[in-house]
Structure formats: C-alpha cells, structure tokens
Amino acid sequence: MSAPALLVPSAPMVRRRKLLAEWNWSGKLGLAVLAILVLVALFAPWLQAHDLGEMSAAGVFQPMSTEHWLGTDYLGRDMLTRLIAGAPYTLGVAFAATVLACGFGALLGLLASVSGGWLDAALSRTLDTLVSIPSKLLALVIIAGFGSSTTLLVATAAVVYTPGCYRIIRSLGVNINAMDYVVVARARGEKRSYIMRREILPNIWGPLLADMGLRFVYALRLLASLSFLGLGVQPPMADWGSLVRENLGALPMGGVSVVAPALAIAVLTIAVNLVIDNLPSARIDGEKG
C-alpha cells in the first residue's frame, strides 16, 4: 500500500448519498453478515429461546435438533443460546479495544508527525519496542502481570495494537505535514492541535477506517485465542473463543457444539475481511497481488 496513493481525495460530500452503490457484491455480502452479527450482539438478551444456565433434559453434547438448533454443550446447555449470549463479549471487547488502539495510535501518530524531532523519535522507538514482541506473547505477559478481567483484556489488546496504527498514521501524517497548505497554516500561526485536527486528520480518515477494520480482525483473533487458552473472558461470561475451549471434548466426535462457535468466529472474521478489502475509499491502490 503506497502512501501517496492513499492521499487521493475521495470526494466525500458528493458520494455520501449513494453509499451502497459504491460496494461490490463481496463487500455487500461482508456488510450484510457483519450487520446481522452486530444486531445479534446488540439484542442478545432478547434473542434467547432458552434460559442461559438451563440444563437440557436431553443431555450433554447433543446433535442438532428442533429443540436445540445447535445441540447442547458440555453441561447440556442450549448451544445457540450460549452462542448468542457470547456475541456481545466477542464483538464488544474487540470493538472497544480497536477504538482505543486506533484512537490512541492515531493521536500519537499525528502528534509525532506534526512535532517531529525528539518527540517523534522517542514515540517511534518506544512503540517499535512493543512491536518486537509477538502480539500473543505480549498479551500473555500482560495477563501474567495483572491477572485477567474484561477491562484488562480491552486494555491489553489496545496496547498490543496501538503501535501498528501509530506507524501508519505517522507515515501518512509526515507526508501531509510537508504539503504547502500545512506550511501555510503554520506560517499563519496556527497551533499544533489545529494542524493535527483541521489540516491532517480530514485527509487520513479513509486509511484510518481501513486500518481500524484490520485491527478489529487482529483484536478478534487475539481475544478469541486468549479465551481459548482460558486466559480471556472469564466464566460465567463466555465469548466464542471460550465456547470452543469448553466444548473441546466434543471434537473427536465432530460434535456441533465445538464446530458452531468455531465457525461463528470464522464467519465474523471473514465478513470483516470482506468489508475492509472492498472499502470503496481504500480501493484506490488497486490490486494487492
């Protein structure tokens, strides 16, 4: 992704009205699936046919049936209910972490690109250090130090993904910072915060949104993996990663209770990937090879 290509203005005012017309079919498919999953997460408490803790008379690891659409889990609870109840945690924690990581990363990136000098160097070196630790390992180390809680998970994923966003925003910002209109604004005596907010930020919204989508997928993967390791969302709460872990016993028989949450994660990550790969504003750089 070459930086100058991303700077092509996307004429937001004209296009906003026919927003969906800009999307190709795989992008629309991704959007539709994502929208359904977000609705499920938002309305999860009202969508459950069974009581969350209710243990079915049918027994544990039941296959699909009309009573239990996705079978039952390792304690005989309705799997579909568990899956729906897990949606807010799966999507919510990853979303919160993404917003934090990108907000923080973008802020620091803008600050570094506008300030330059020692501030830029200090920020870049510090965040580069975090990048030299593999993401899963950094998350494990943080959880070892502080124990696991939902708040900490959000913070952990935010820390892990801030440097990536910072790098992208900084490199875009440095290019824009050298443009004539920024030089003019500076000569007018505008403050640093004004240049960050009014001169640079409006020009990097497109790449910033695409990057948020990417970080969201990463955060989803990381959090699902942590839950799978038993270090993520803690019982009695359960996200989809914990559901896979809990029902691993059904795996040798190919039980639906372990396949369903695993597929749910796959569907979610692939939907988000389809959306970001086909973002109209980010498609300018053409084929990625």
Partner 1 sequence: MNRTILRLIASRIAVGLLSLLAVSIVVFAITSVLPGDAAQEKLGQDATPEALAALRKEMGLDRSAPERYVQWLGGIVRGDPGISPVTGGSVGEMISSRLPASLLLAALTAAFSVPIALALGILCALWRGSKFDRVVSMTSVAVVSVPEFLVATLAVLVFAVHLKWLPALSYTSDTSSFVDLVRSLAMPVVSLGSVIVAQMLRMTRAALIDQLGAPYIEMVRLKGASPARAVLAHALPNAVGPIANAIALSLSYLLGGVIIIEVIFNYPGIAKLMVDAVTQRDMPLVQACAMIFCVAYLVLVTVADVSGIVANPRLRHQ
Task: For the segment 246-285, give every residue that binds partner 1 (CB under 8 A).
Answer: 248, 251-254, 258-259, 262, 265-266, 269-270, 273
Decide whether 54 or 128 has the Cβ nearer to partner 1.
128
108 scored as a contact of partner 1 (CB under 8 A): no
Kindly state whether residue 233 participates in binding partner 1, applying the rule CB under 8 A: no
Of 221, 237, 284, 285, which one interacts with partner 1 (CB under 8 A)?
221
CB of 36 to partner 1, least distance (A): 18
Among the listed residues 10, 55, 136, 285, the single contact to partner 1 using CB under 8 A: 136
Least distance (Å) from partner 1 to the CB of residue 53?
25
- Asked if 94 is part of the footprint of partner 1 (rule: CB under 8 A), the reply reads no
Q: Is 4 in the site for partner 1 (CB under 8 A)?
A: no
Q: What angle do CA 102, 104, 105 make, to 5 degrees?
A: 60
C-alpha–C-alpha distance, residues 26 and 50, integer Å:
34
**286 lies in the site for partner 1, by CB under 8 A:** no
Shortest CB 39 distance to partner 1, Å: 22
The structure tokens listed for 1 are 């992704």
2 binds partner 1 (CB under 8 A): no
Least spacing, CB of residue 125 vs partner 1, in Å: 8
In DSSP terms, 116 is beta-bridged to none
Q: Is 33 in the site for partner 1 (CB under 8 A)?
A: no
Q: Nearest to residue 60, comparing CAs of 257, 263, 239?
A: 257
- What angle (nearest 5°) sits at the alpha carbon of residue 97, between those of residues 247 and 235? 30
CB of 224 to partner 1, least distance (A): 5
List, in sequence order, every residue forming a beta bridge with 72; answer none if it has no partner.
78
Contacting residue, 3, 40, 58, 130, with partner 1 by CB under 8 A: 130
Crossing angle of helices 135-146 and 150-177, in 10° steps, is 130
Q: Does residue 186 touch partner 1 according to CB under 8 A?
A: no
**By the rule CB under 8 A, 202 interacts with partner 1:** no
Whole-angstrom distance, CA of residue 134 vs CA of residue 106: 21
Which of 135, 242, 278, 281 lies at the binding interface for partner 1 (CB under 8 A)?
Answer: 135
124-134: b or e for each residue (b if 16 or more CB lie within 10 Å)? beebeebeeee
Residue 36 CB coordination number (10 Å) = 12
Closest by CA to 12, choosing from 205, 177, 172, 173, is: 205
Q: Which of 228, 238, 256, 257 binds partner 1 (CB under 8 A)?
A: 228
- Asked if 117 touches partner 1 (CB under 8 A), the answer is no
Which residues lie near partner 1 (CB under 8 A)? 125, 128-130, 132-137, 140-147, 217, 220-221, 224-225, 228-231, 241, 244, 248, 251-254, 258-259, 262, 265-266, 269-270, 273, 288-289
